[in-house]
Structure 1
Amino acid sequence: MTFSIAARCPQTGMLGVAAASSSIAVASRCCHVAAGVGAVMSQNVTNPALGPRALALMAQGQRAGELLAALAGADPHLAWRQLLLVPAQGEIATFSGQHALGVFATAQGEHCAAGGNILADARLPARMVQAFEESRGHLAERLLTAMQAAVAAGGEVGPIHATGIKLVSTQSWPVVDLRVDWSDGEPVAELQQLWQRYQPQMQDYITRAEAPEQAPGYGVPGL
């Protein structure tokens, strides 16, 4: 039903997640990030509350083993969940419950974790990690490279309809939060095109929030 990746950039401190699914608006339920804290994917038979809970525990300094134990205590149905936990620093962890759907798997790299369920190939998360680790550039580009590698490796058993990417930097709000909530075409490719449109304007929106007197012109009629 979903394949995804969570990652951190040790050079910039950015944290990000990206996901794709046959389910509508997947990123609205599954993608969770907090600046300086971590990146979390909560998927499979999804409990969206696990994302904020995991980030709160990361902020308290809980490590991977403690974190998973605490989440199990917070959700009696954890056996239906799949989690990717990437703190800003420290040990990365993944979890797949015994009731995860279809072919499921996870994989970890030095600065990322990937996972999925109802997969066409159990090796897909490992290929996502490899693609991420071999890529260079902005964290968003690297996450999208991993997503494209997943599509090339077969993705889900069925068609993909929704995808999204979310990143944080030093601000308390996401500097990137792009979604294709439903498409009958190629949503991951459409998300890549959306990023290419957004990327040249990203810093302008940060400037508008932090130093509006220095913000560039809005470029809209009437102003």
Structure 2
Amino acid sequence: MTFSIAAHQDGRFGVAVSSSSPAVAARAVHLRDSVGAAASQNITDPRLGTALLDRIAAGATPREALDAVVAAEPTAQYRQLTVVGATGAAAFSGGRTLGVHGEATGPHCAAAGNMLAGPGVPAAMCAAFAAAGGELEERLLAALAAGLAAGGEAGPVHSAGLSTVSANGWRDTDLRVDWSPDPVGELGGLLGVWLPQRDDYVRRGLDPAASPGYGVPGDDR
């Protein structure tokens, strides 16, 4: 029901995801400043994303974290997991993963999908991420669009999300389309509005006295 990519660029971490289910980003996306990115999907247990990042924070590599979480989880065969840290990436699909499924890793990224139109979707996403330029958000969106172009899910998708962290203490990008006939397209439109303003909003949080005004009625700075 889902395809996603987790990635790392210049100390930043992010996840992009799409699904036929509503509000997929509310369950699948897991990020932690200066630690990593993870996605928990298929028959989703969001707690596993937290468990993966806890292990990386404690010093495990992504592969070590993934192997340990899978070994400790009785329901692991129903889960599909990806995790990316500063030292690499890893992916897992349990034996009970739904439908046509697959996973792939590339430089600084890991992708996975289930109930897919074809097993090559995750590899297409990793290839697109590697080939894309620009900000982490732009590369994640390019990867998500490539997964859709490669067939995506076997049926239509309805939700999508894209989130990043940059060691500021919160998600500096956190965009969701929770139900739409074109969630990836709408997500791209949201990113086009958000990205030019992202750093201003970060500055407002970190140094409000030096932050730019909002340019709206009532803002007299």
Scaled by the length of structure 2, the TM-score of the pair is: 0.96
Q: Does 1:8 align with 2:8?
A: yes
Q: How many residues align?
A: 219
2: distance between equivalents of 1:64 and 1:165? Answer: 21
How far apart are the structure 1 equivalents of 2:40 and 2:78? 11
1:176-195 C-alpha deviation (Å, 9 max, x unpaired): 00000111x21101000000
The alignment yields a C-alpha RMSD, in angstroms, of 1.1
Q: Once the 2 structures are TM-superposed, how far is the Cα of residue 197 of structure 1 from its aligned partner?
A: 0.2
Q: 5+ unaligned residues in a row in structure 2: which ranges?
A: none
Aligned equivalent of 2:156: 159
2:145 to 141, 144, 148: 148
- Residue 92 of structure 1 and its aligned partner are, at CA, apart by 1.4
Match of 1:201 in 2: 197
How many angstroms does 1:218 deviate by?
A: 2.0
Measure the CA separation in 2 of the matches of 1:53 and 1:45: 16
Structure 1 residue matching 2:169: 3-state secondary structure: coil
Contact 2:2 2:41 in 1 (8 A): yes
**1:63 Cα deviation from its structure 2 partner:** 2.3
Q: Report SS of the residue matched to 1:92.
A: strand
Tell me the equivalent position of 1:177.
174
| 2:211 corresponding residue in structure 1 | 215
Q: Could you tell me which amino acid in structure 2 is paired with residue 200 of structure 1?
A: P
Partner of 2:73: 75
d(CA) in 1 for partners of 2:161, 2:87: 25
Q: For the residues of structure 2 that align with 1:71 and 1:47, how far apart are their CA atoms?
A: 12
Q: Which runs of structure 2 are paired with 1:10-29 in the superposition (5 Å)?
A: 12-29=10-27
Preserved CA contact (<8 Å) 2:162 2:173: yes
1:17-166 correspondence to structure 2 within 5 Å: 17-87=15-85, 89-166=86-163
Contact 2:80 2:92 in 1 (8 A): yes
Provide the C-alpha distance between the structure 2 equivalents of 1:117 and 1:98, rounded to a whole number of angstroms.
12
Look up the equivalent residue of 1:77 and give its one-letter code: T
- Superposed CA offset, 1:24-52 (max 9, x none): 10000000111110010110000001111
CA–CA distance in structure 1, aligned partners of residues 112 and 75 of structure 2: 19
